């Protein structure tokens, strides 16, 4: 993992949802750099969107901190998911993957049931799966895209939390992935930005409701991060300049986001709830 400003990212495009193996450069998920210290020993986690990008980095970090991990991914992302599970197992933890679409409420609920059955319980839920697709203007935003974005990003998060809460004990943690788009929206990501604002509100709201149960609810707000979502949903010329507008002058790597999730899932943040941790290169 490097903090240096890289040369310009080559213009590139991937068919959605994309694979990290086809990206140039290949993202850093912490495979060679993350070192655990037992901060999540014995914890049991579900991570949606865990096959690549931020979700993969979080899965690697959680496993190396001592957690068992179940990742959720689309069926076409199976190869990336298998690779992530191998990294979890190489850390000496139990790794599982479940293929499906979080737009299916029944699938969301079955994921939680599977984790509880396979792990004997659930301690951490990371809602990270998301959909975005850039548009030129509001008039180009179709009802189909609007529904897909909200169902993937917001409805699924609600369904997963509803399914998880009955199994979460005091000290458990929910971490939602939001975005700097929630308060500094880009016109081309109109619908995506709206969903991330909704998730910030949900995080703050549920921190109040679930606090009496001893369940903490927090969020991480990434800035531009180099994941398959970028070349799979943005024009190639925008990919080429991705992240250069930040004060640090570059996009973040998924591995640079993982420590924030570890902190929010661990006892180190036992008095933190309703927080939004911004990891955005200075933006």
Average pLDDT for residues 161-185, to the nearest whole number? 97
Q: Domain 38-279: give its CATH code.
A: 3.40.50.720
157 falls in which pLDDT band (50, 70, 90)? very high
Which phi-psi region, left, alpha or beta, contains residue 11 (left: φ > 0; alpha: ψ -120 to 50)?
beta
Given a contact cutoff of 8 angstroms between Cβ atoms, the answer to whether 164 and 125 are in contact is: yes
Phi and psi torsions of 92, nearest 5°: 85, 15
Q: What is the mean pLDDT of the chain?
A: 92
144 falls in which pLDDT band (50, 70, 90)? very high
17 pLDDT higher than 80 = no
262 pLDDT higher than 60 = yes
Check if 192 is active-site. yes
Per domain, the residue ranges of the chain are 38-279
Q: How many angstroms from the chain centroid is the CA of residue 164?
A: 17
Report percent pLDDT > 90 for the chain.
Answer: 78
Phi and psi torsions of 49, nearest 5°: 65, 35
User: How many Å apart are CA 50 and CA 156, to the nearest integer?
Assistant: 15
112 pLDDT higher than 70 = yes
Query: What angle is formed at CA 175 by the lines to CA 245 and CA 84, rounded to 5 degrees?
Result: 80
CA neighbor of 277 nearest in space, from 212, 217, 192? 217
181 falls in which pLDDT band (50, 70, 90)? very high
Of 96-110, 120-134, 220-234, which gets the smallest average pLDDT?
Answer: 220-234
Q: Is 151 helix (H, G, I), strand (E, B) or coil?
A: helix
Given a contact cutoff of 8 angstroms between Cβ atoms, the answer to whether 62 and 265 are in contact is: yes
The stretches of the chain forming alpha helices (DSSP H) are: 53-64, 78-90, 105-119, 143-150, 156-164, 190-211, 229-233, 236-240, 258-265
CA neighbor of 72 nearest in space, from 84, 89, 86? 84
* CA distances, 265 to each of 1, 166, 253 (Å): 22, 18, 20
Given a contact cutoff of 8 angstroms between Cβ atoms, the answer to whether 243 and 224 are in contact is: yes
Which residues have CB under 8 Å from 51's CB, separation 6+? 71, 73, 74, 77, 78, 80, 81, 83, 84, 97
Q: Which of 34, 192, 261, 271 is catalytic?
A: 192
User: How many Å apart are CA 218 and CA 215, to the nearest integer?
Assistant: 10
8 pLDDT higher than 70 = no
9 pLDDT higher than 90 = no
| Per-residue confidence (pLDDT) for residue 205, from 0 to 100 | 98
């Amino acid at each position: 993992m490097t903090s240096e400003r890289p040369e310009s990212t080559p213009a590139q495009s991937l068919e959605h949802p994309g694979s990290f193996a086809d990206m140039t450069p290949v993202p850093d998920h912490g495979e060679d750099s993350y070192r655990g210290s037992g901060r999540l020993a014995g914890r049991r986690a579900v991570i949606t969107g865990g096959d690549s990008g931020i979700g993969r980095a979080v899965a690697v970090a959680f496993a190396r901190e001592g957690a068992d991990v179940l990742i959720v991914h689309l069926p076409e992302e199976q190869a990336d998911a298998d690779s992530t599970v191998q990294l979890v197992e190489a850390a000496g933890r139990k790794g599982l993957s479940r293929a499906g679409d979080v737009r299916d409420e029944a699938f969301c609920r079955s994921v939680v049931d599977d984790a509880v059955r396979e792990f004997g319980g659930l301690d951490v839920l990371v809602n990270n799966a998301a959909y975005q697709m850039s548009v030129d203007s509001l008039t180009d935003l179709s009802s189909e895209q609007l529904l897909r974005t909200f169902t993937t990003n917001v409805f699924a998060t609600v369904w997963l939390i509803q399914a998880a809460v009955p199994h979460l004990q005091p000290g458990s943690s929910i971490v939602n992935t939001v975005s700097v788009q929630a308060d500094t929206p880009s016109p081309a990501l109109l619908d995506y930005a709206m969903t991330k604002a909704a998730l910030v509100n949900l995080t703050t709201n549920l921190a109040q409701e679930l606090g009496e149960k001893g369940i903490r609810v927090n969020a991480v707000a990434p800035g531009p991060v180099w994941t398959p979502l970028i070349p799979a949903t943005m024009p190639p010329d925008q990919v080429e300049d991705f992240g250069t507008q930040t004060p640090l002058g570059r996009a973040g790597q998924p591995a640079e986001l993982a420590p924030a999730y570890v902190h929010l899932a661990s006892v180190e943040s036992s008095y933190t709830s309703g927080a939004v941790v911004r990891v955005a290169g200075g933006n």
